[in-house]
Structure 1
Amino acid sequence: MRLWTLHPKYLDPQGLVALWREALLARAVLRGETRGYTHHPQLERFKAHASPRLAINAYLATVHAEATSRGYTFDRTKIGPVRPVAPISATRGQINYEWEHLLQKLAARSPALFAQWRELGRPLCHPLFHSGPGPVASWERASGGA
């Protein structure tokens, strides 16, 4: 499961579809509708939010908006209520880590998007997140933690 901290506008079609599916799975986990993935580290930041279900709905709403802007027809009824929620903190280290990870994926899967984004020095994060200083998140498996 990869719930990108990055704005979904940077994702290639495969990545955007995968994000939609994975965020819907995360929503099911947070609603207690599935037994799998209940301890997935990427869910920690949503579980720690004052309103985890509303936070994942807000996350999904942005993914849906991006998909709609590209002409995709993701089912909006799968999201649930979307209300303003407090942002989730994300470190610049985490955003940079994810950016390098995404660029590797784009280089292999979508060379045109890789060429478009590779020189971008400071990618935007998903609107649910507020970036600040700090290392890669402790829950990021490949990083070895903070």
Structure 2
Amino acid sequence: MRLWSLHPEQLDRVGLVACWRESLLAQNVLAGNTRGYRNHPQLIRFRGTAHPLGAMGTYLSALQQEATERGYRFDATKIREPEPPSAPLPVTDGQLAFEWDHLGRKLAERDPERWEAWRVAAPKPHPLFRIESGDIESWERP
């Protein structure tokens, strides 16, 4: 499961679709509707909020909005709680850098055109997150 801290606009088609599906799974885990993935480390930052399903809803809403802008049809009715949480969640600049490099390796393999654009761009956080100084997040499994 990869719940990218990067802005959805920076993901390729495969990454955006996979993130949508994995985020819907994460939403089900947070809602207690599945037995699998309950202890997945990517869920730590959502569980640490006052309203985990609201945070996940905000996360999913940004993915759905990006998909719509690209002409894809991600079903917004699958988002349980699309209302935004009261404050953005923190993400470290080290985590963004780690994910940016990870994304670059994936793009080099499956989308050379997007990879060329990636090489001259800089990482942007998903709208749910605000950047803080720090290393890779403790929940990341490099």
**TM-score, shorter chain, exceeding 0.5:** yes
Q: Aligned equivalents of 1:77 and 1:20: distance in 2?
A: 13
SS in 2 for 1:17: helix
Give the aligned length.
141
Offset, 1:48: 0.2
Provide the residue aligned with 2:2 in structure 1: 2
Offset, 1:82: 1.7
Offset, 1:84: 2.5
Provide the residue aligned with 1:100 in structure 2: 101
Q: Aligned equivalents of 1:22 and 1:79: distance in 2?
A: 13
Q: Aligned equivalents of 1:69 and 1:25: distance in 2?
A: 23
SS in 2 for 1:21: helix
Offset, 1:134: 0.2
Deviation larger for 98-107 or 81-90: 81-90
| 1:1-146 equivalence runs, <5 A | 1-85=1-85, 86-120=87-121, 122-142=122-142
Q: Aligned equivalents of 1:83 and 1:12: distance in 2?
A: 26
Structure 1 ranges of 4+ moved more than 6 A = none
Offset, 1:110: 0.3
1:56-77 C-alpha deviation (Å, 9 max, x unpaired):
0000000000000000011110
What residue ranges of structure 1 are gaps of 5+ in the alignment? none
Q: Over aligned residue pairs, what C-alpha RMSD do you find?
A: 0.7
SS in 1 for 2:125: coil
Q: Aligned equivalents of 2:42 and 2:73: distance in 1?
A: 26
Q: TM-score, normalised by structure 2?
A: 0.97
1:37-86 C-alpha deviation (Å, 9 max, x unpaired):
00000000000011100000000000000000000011110002322312
Q: Check conservation: 2:93, 2:132, Cα contact below 8 A.
A: yes
1:81-126 C-alpha deviation (Å, 9 max, x unpaired):
3223121100000000000000000000000000011122x31100
Deviation larger for 97-106 or 73-82: 73-82
SS in 2 for 1:39: coil
SS in 2 for 1:141: coil
Deviation larger for 72-81 or 24-33: 72-81
SS in 1 for 2:90: strand
Q: Aligned equivalents of 2:46 and 2:17: distance in 1?
A: 20
